[in-house]
Structure 1
Amino acid sequence: MDDKKIARINELYHKSKAEGLTSEEQKEQQILRREYIDSFKRNLRSQLNNISIQEADGSITDLGEKYGNKKGH
């Protein structure tokens, strides 16, 4: 998600608090918010998939390989 879209989300938020939004602006706000949330989830999942843990016996467990490719993630 780029800075222009984030700025637009903030702009629509402030306008909604100040004077209200038209139905078209409300739809745009919902779409942008959904896109932001989806982007956030993808980034978080990517970070979590890159975590490795060193076990007590010295072996390394890659959590992305172990848990990251399950359905629904």
Structure 2
Amino acid sequence: MAENENQENILKRINELYHKKENGGLTPEEEAERKKLHEEYIKNFRAGFKQTIEDLVIIDKNGKEITSEKAKAAQRKKGLRKD
């Protein structure tokens, strides 16, 4: 939950800086902050997306699991699978 809150705070600050840039410009320090926050936001987003994909279990319409071997290996490494 704290990670979500952190992401929201980062996004809020990015938006504040965006609006300031549109209405008059940013100082060099603010532009550096904007860039750093944007990079952090993207890094966190990708990590969360990867986590979601790795934890995904896919079942076909016949009830057979068709999860990729790469995802199964990641799940085993995390202790989510016992097979």
Structure with the higher fraction of residues in helix conformation: 2
Match of 1:48 in 2: 53
Match of 1:33 in 2: 38
**Count, aligned residues:** 68
- Give the % identical residues: 31
TM-score (norm 1): 0.74
Of residues 3-12 and 47-56 in structure 1, the stretch that sits farther from structure 2 once superposed is 47-56
Match of 1:65 in 2: 72
Structure with the higher fraction of residues in strand conformation: 1
Greater relative contact order (Cα 8 A, min sep 6): structure 1 or 2? 1
Question: Which ranges in structure 1 are unaligned for 5 or more consecutive residues?
Answer: none
**CA distance in 2 between partners of 1:59 and 1:4 (Å):** 41
Question: Which ranges in structure 2 are unaligned for 5 or more consecutive residues?
Answer: 76-83
Question: What RMSD over aligned residues (CA atoms) do the two structures have, in Å?
Answer: 2.3
TM-score (norm 2): 0.66
